[in-house]
Chain A
Amino acid sequence: MSPIIRVSHLSKHFKDTRAVDDLSFTVNEGDVYGFLGQNGAGKSTTIRMLLSLVAPSGGEIVIFEKKLSTHRSEILRRVGAVIEKPDLYKYLSAYDNLSIFARMSGMKVTRQLLMKQLQMVGLGERAGSKVRTYSQGMKQRLGIAVALVHNPALIILDEPTNGLDPQGIADMRNLILKLSNELGKTVLISSHLLSEIEMIANRMIIIHKGKKMVEGRVVDLLDPAHSLIQIETHDNDAAKEKLQQTKWVSFLQDGKQISLMMNKDEVPQLINDLVAMNVELMSVNSSHSLENYFLSLTTLPGDVEPFAN
């Protein structure tokens, strides 16, 4: 797989604020690449730099093996994007909006092509309606149609499910999967929800305060070997003391709670051992360690060290 996006040591400073700090990542051809981070982590700034809306303070962006700084138009001709809200010309119809942006992308448009595109996102019947009469979900779908109309090889979606209802979110997810699986597009999608990325992305990055925390294949990062098992017993201190005498000591985590970082498959064995040691179990909960790690970014104050995978 050849790299479609290669970002090296990218940074952006706004006066005293470091929005993006020495960020490097690679998106390969055919990837659905999740770009994850809490609000204000630097996702949108990075995406804006990828689309040349914002000038980097440092670093390099290479897309389709060409430098963005020197081959901007050539690159953008092959990129489709929805940046935050899909704002379009409200006083024009969906058809006119699509026609305008297709022509701006250098396409020769035909009515047939535009209608086909609108039908693909389920707006065929409302093609002539003014965008101001559209719901948020319809605007989002039109935004996707605008991003796809010129048949780009790379699609960048910045928080595409924002403001959508559950059905809209599901539709968007299916559309992204279709783009990747059926049409072979490379998709970079940003979100602040791990659950969303987990369902559609094959690779992902988590950024926090503009820095890379972790990057890799989703299956690796969400490997059951990195599950966090939390146990509640009648007497936690006694149970912990007993566990320290067993092989499970190496999986024990610090803290008042009994937490073990371990493979989920070994949980039945752990429960058996605890029962054998006469520990009265109240509950056993399992969650991805990555999820906990990501949650810690959104809940804990101060800096968080990069995740050791």
Chain B
Amino acid sequence: MLNLLQIELFKISRRPRTYIAFAAITAIVFIFQFAFKADGESYMNLLLQSVNDTFEFEKVRAINGYFMCYIILNTLLIQVPILVALIAADSISGEANMGTLRLLISKPFSRTQLILVKFAAATIFTLLLLLWMAITSLLFSLLIFGADDMLIFRSKGDESQILLITKDDVVWRYLAAFAYATVALTVIAALSLLLSIFAENSIGPIIATVCIVIVCTIISNLDVPIIDKNVKPFLFTSYLVGWKGFFYIATTSEGIPIKGSIENWPAIRKSLLILLLHIGILVAAAVIIFKRKDILS
């Protein structure tokens, strides 16, 4: 299995399309950083429109490396599923398209092993993508904007809330958030892998993955009671932004943030479990379907 995984990673590393995702992340992050460096105040006013009337403070002073990373993640983690799909949706369909699938299947390892290796490779790619995102959005932002206490602006129903996280309490939250995001995006990888079994070129599964994510995200954001109760809890998209929970710090009854705390850990845990369940179901479905499939490509 390890040998197969090494081969799979080698193949991914030699494909030019792999680097499109890394280049896209780099470009978007640097555009954000440049924009905030050049005209931070305007961007802050734009970003914080909802809290402008509630809180009066010098918004530019809130800009620092940690805050920048939060802003970038907020925007970028919605686009990353497309980048993950770019590789994961190519897993089986790409092989079928190249004509190498029949050669792979005629080698002495099982189809289950092949799917598991493809999934593991897609997961590692997702992890590396997020690691690169962490380096560019967190590390480079800290280098450019410096480190300071971090302000989080949060809308809770009709209320707006500002949370302060001290700079010595931030890094672990980012590590946890990136770990959570890896799990969330692995669901996308598993979905893309499943869809790639049905196609003989990667365009179809990529488009299908993106469409499913868009439709499910729209449903997850609908404010209809019947959907809230019966549909949203089962959609993976309802949990994609669960990483934010690590930045919602618990407060005392006087409203003072408690260092090292998380407001709602059980909700994060539940979200993680549901995401892991999605991964399990999608990968199991991929294995079962692929094992029965006649390879005619």
Where the two chains meet, the residues of A that have a C-beta atom closer than 8 Å to any C-beta of B are 14, 48, 51-55, 72-77, 79, 81, 83-85, 87-92, 96, 100-101, 103-106, 146
Contact = CB atoms under 8 A, between A and B. Distances in A.
A74 B103 contact: no
Interface in B100-149: 100, 102-110
A103 B294 contact: no
Given A53-B106, A89-B98, A91-B16, 5 more contacts: A53-B105, A73-B110, A76-B106, A84-B102, A103-B3
Interface in B7-64: 7, 10-11, 14-16
Contact of B7 (A54, A72, A81, A104): A104
Contacts, number: 78
Contacts of B4: 104
A72 B3 CA distance: 19
A55 to B, nearest CB: 6
A272 to B, nearest CB: 57
A73 B108 contact: yes
B81 to A, nearest CB: 25
A55 B292 contact: yes
B103 A87 contact: yes
B108 A106 contact: yes
10 contacts: A14-B294, A48-B294, A48-B295, A51-B102, A53-B106, A53-B294, A54-B294, A75-B108, A77-B108, A81-B103
Contacts of A81: 103, 106
Contact of A72 (B104, B110, B292, B294): B110
Contacts of B295: 48, 53-54
A51 B102 CA distance: 9
The 7 closest A-B pairs by CB, nearest first: A87-B99, A53-B295, A51-B106, A77-B108, A73-B108, A76-B108, A104-B107
A91 B4 CA distance: 19
A87 B110 CA distance: 21
Nearest to B7: A100
A83 B294 contact: no
A116 to B, nearest CB: 21
Contacts of B10: 96, 100
B100 A76 contact: no
Contact of B11 (A48, A74, A75, A89): A89
Contact of B296 (A54, A87, A91, A106): A54
Contacts of B108: 72-77, 104-106
Contacts of A91: 14-16
Contacts of A14: 294
A85 B107 contact: no
A72 B109 CA distance: 8
A73 B114 CA distance: 13
Nearest to B111: A52
Contact of A104 (B15, B104, B110, B292): B104
Nearest to B105: A53
